[in-house]
Amino acid sequence: MRILVANVNTTQSMTDSIAAQAAAAAAPGTEIVGLTPRFGADSCEGNFESYLAAIAVMDKVLSYPEPYDAVVQAGYGEHGREGLQELLDVPVVDITEAAASTAMFLGHKYSVVTTLDRAVPLIEDRLKLAGLDARCASVRASGMAVLELEEHPDRAVEAIVEQAERAVRDDKAEVIVLGCGGMAGLDEQIRRRCGVPVVDGVAAAVTIAESLVRLGLSTSKVRTYAAPRPKTVVGWPLLAEATAAR
C-alpha cells in the first residue's frame, strides 16, 4: 500500500519530518511518500497561505506519476481536503480531522495545542465544519511559529507542555492533540510530561488511511465529492509553463 503524505508548505525539511512520523506509524508493507508543493508559503499560518496550499497540494498530488492508495493532507487546520476528495478516487484523510477523531476514542474532551494565536480560528472552523468540535475543550496557541518548531524543539516542547497543562487543568481536556504537522515527533515527550494521551495528526491519519484502504472504503461520489463536471478550466495545472523550466 502506498500513501502520499502531502505537506502543505514548501519547506522540504518539514516534509521529511512529516514523512518520517508517518512511516513510524505505518504498518509493515505501507510505503509512505512525502510530497512538497511546487508553490506556496514556506509555512502556513493564515488563510491566504492556507488557500494557496489547498491548490498547491491538489496540484502536487495530481502530478504524482505513480499509483497510490490514499492521500494524507498533513496541514493542521488547512483548507483543501474537499477539493482533493473530488479529484481523487482514493481516500483522503486530513490530519486535523484524523487527530480529533482519534482523540475522541481516548477521553471525554480533547484540546488542540497549535502554533500561533491566529491559527486558532482556522482550526476551530475546520473542526466545526467537520462536526468534530462538540467534544473539543479548547484550541490553544503555544505562540511558536511553524518554522520555530524545527529551530527550537526544546522551547517548542516547553511552550506546548504549558498550554497542554492548562488545557487539562482549566479546560478539562483529557487528551491533547498536536495542532501542527510540524509537531510530528513531539508527542512522546509531551505525553510523558502531561500524563494524558497525546495524538499526533500525521500518525493518526496514516492509520486511518490504511484502515480505509484495507476495508475497501473510499470517498462517496454521489454528491458533495463527485468528480468535477467537465468544463473549461483556464490555466490549470497552474504552474505548467513556469515549472516546465525549473
In degrees, to the nearest 5, what angle opens at C-alpha 9 toward C-alphas 121 and 235? 100
Least Cβ distance, residue 37 to a copy of itself (angstroms): 8
DSSP label at residue 242 = H
Cα separation, 220 vs 222, in Å, equals 6
Q: What is the DSSP string of 52-82?
A: HHHHHHHHHHHT--S--SEEEE--TT-S-HH
Residue span 202-221 as binding mask against a copy of itself, x where in contact by CB under 8 A, dash where not = -xx--xx-xxx-xx-xxxx-
Residue of 129, 151, 170, 192 interacting with a copy of itself (CB under 8 A) = 129
Q: What are phi and psi of 111, to 5 degrees?
A: -125, 150
Grid cell for residue 223: 454528491
State yes or no: residue 10 binds a copy of itself (CB under 8 A). yes
Q: Say whether residue 1 binds a copy of itself (CB under 8 A).
A: no
Write down the least CB distance from residue 169 to a copy of itself, Å. 10
Residues in 107-126 at the binding interface with a copy of itself, rule: CB under 8 A: 107-109, 117-118, 120-122, 125
CB of 76 to a copy of itself, least distance (A): 16
Is 86 a binding residue for a copy of itself by CB under 8 A? The answer is yes
Q: Is 55 in the site for a copy of itself (CB under 8 A)?
A: yes
**Amino acid present at 199:** V
With contact defined as beta carbons under 8 Å apart, do 114 and 99 qualify? no
Contact predicate 49/115, CB 8 Å:
no
Among 96, 102, 138, 163, binds a copy of itself (CB under 8 A): 102
Closest CB 41 distance from a copy of itself, rounded Å? 5
Q: Which of these ranges, 12-20, 86-94, 155-163, 177-185, lies near a copy of itself under the rule CB under 8 A?
A: 86-94
Provide, rounded to whole angstroms, the least separation between the CB of residue 153 and a copy of itself: 20
Task: Give the Å distances, CA to CA, from 83 to 17, 54, 130.
Answer: 25, 8, 14
Find the shortest distance in angstroms from Cβ 75 to a copy of itself. 13
Helical (H) or strand (E) element with 179:
strand 175-179
Residues in region 140-169 near a copy of itself by CB under 8 A: 145, 168
